[in-house]
Amino acid sequence: MSEKPIIGFIGIGIMGRSMAGHLLAAGHPVHVYNRTKEKAQDLLNKGATWQDTVGDVAANADVVITIVGFPQDVESVYLSDDGILARAKSGATVIDMTTSSPDLAVKIYEEAKAKGIAAMDAPVSGGDIGACEARLSIMVGGDADAFEKVKPIFEIMGKNIVLQGGAGDGQHTKMCNQVAIASGTMVICEAMAYAKKSGLDPETVLKSIESGAAGSWLLSNLAPRILKGDFAPGFFVKYLLKDIRIAIESAEKMGLDLPGLALAKQLYDKLAAAGGENEGTQALFKLYQEQL
């Protein structure tokens, strides 16, 4: 392996574009693939190398990173006949940073191990801002030796990087994060709706409550967007709904009831049905706005 490992990056979306850009800026050769090539053009202009298939990316890389949409996309890019595991070199490392199914992460890990490939699940939190500023929280599942080997790569993209345990444990940790986000965003929308309905200035209210016991990253980052009517996606409603479904399914397998998450799902399903699936998660406020 060269001094700077060759990185394959698959999934050039809102977050992936920034993440791949940081790796490129750090001096890593980066090979990219995305279903829509135009989304990767900025990276190509900066020196990234385009590959026509995910298999071609894997064949040319020491470390392959994926951040795609849904579990079915993860399964396709890793386990298809011309996918990552079919083409990656023995001794390579593959890292799925998509928020996906813990069970699927274990399956990929086991199939990769049989081929001499190290596999990790490493979903992230921090949204578009965290990706842009290279301060993502990265939750890792996999073997400790593989984690130490690629930790310098994680450190280019994030600040809070924790090995949570074995295969699938990164995804379980991300589910904890998404449970908190789904219910927390609902609560923030309700707080801002209450402030408006009572005749208060919500921005002044925010100055008081964001530094108190109610303070959180969500409150400080999403409430200002809500008050400006900015519902552009830092994280899409359709992806949060995907995560909620994974979390509920995983919780049911463990015999755990999550009523708060079930209520958040109800509301987000309503927002998506009204055409809001491609908006940011803070667009949930629109359901409350109808009452103001």
The pLDDT tens digits of the residues spanning 144-154 come to 999 999 999 99
The pLDDT tens digits of the residues spanning 254-282 come to 999 999 999 999 999 999 999 999 999 99
Please name the CATH architecture into which domain 172-289 falls: Orthogonal Bundle (1.10)
Whole-prediction pTM value? 0.92
Residues 183, 122: Cα–Cα separation, whole Å: 23
The pLDDT tens digits of the residues spanning 217-254 come to 999 999 999 999 999 998 899 999 999 999 999 999 99
Say if residue 163's pLDDT is above 60. Answer: yes
Say if residue 2's pLDDT is above 80. Answer: no
Say if residue 1's pLDDT is above 70. Answer: no
Instruction: Tell me the two tokens of residue 213.
Output: 């016991």
* pLDDT for res 127: 82
Q: Is 174 known to be catalytic?
A: yes
Across the strands, what pairs with 125?
Answer: 137
* pLDDT for res 126: 87
Q: In whole numbers, what is the pLDDT of the chain averaged over residues?
A: 96
Of the residues 89, 174, 207, 253, only one is catalytic, namely 174
Instruction: Report H helices in the chain.
Output: 14-25, 41-45, 54-59, 71-79, 84-87, 102-114, 127-132, 144-157, 169-197, 202-209, 217-228, 237-253, 259-271, 285-289
Instruction: Tell me the two tokens of residue 273.
Output: 């049905």
Q: Where are the chain's structural domains?
A: 7-167, 172-289
Give the single-character DSSP code of 39: G
Domain topology for 7-167: Rossmann fold (3.40.50)
- Residue where the block lists tokens 């690629």: 150
Of the pLDDT bands very low, low, confident and very high (cuts 50, 70, 90), residue 112 is very high
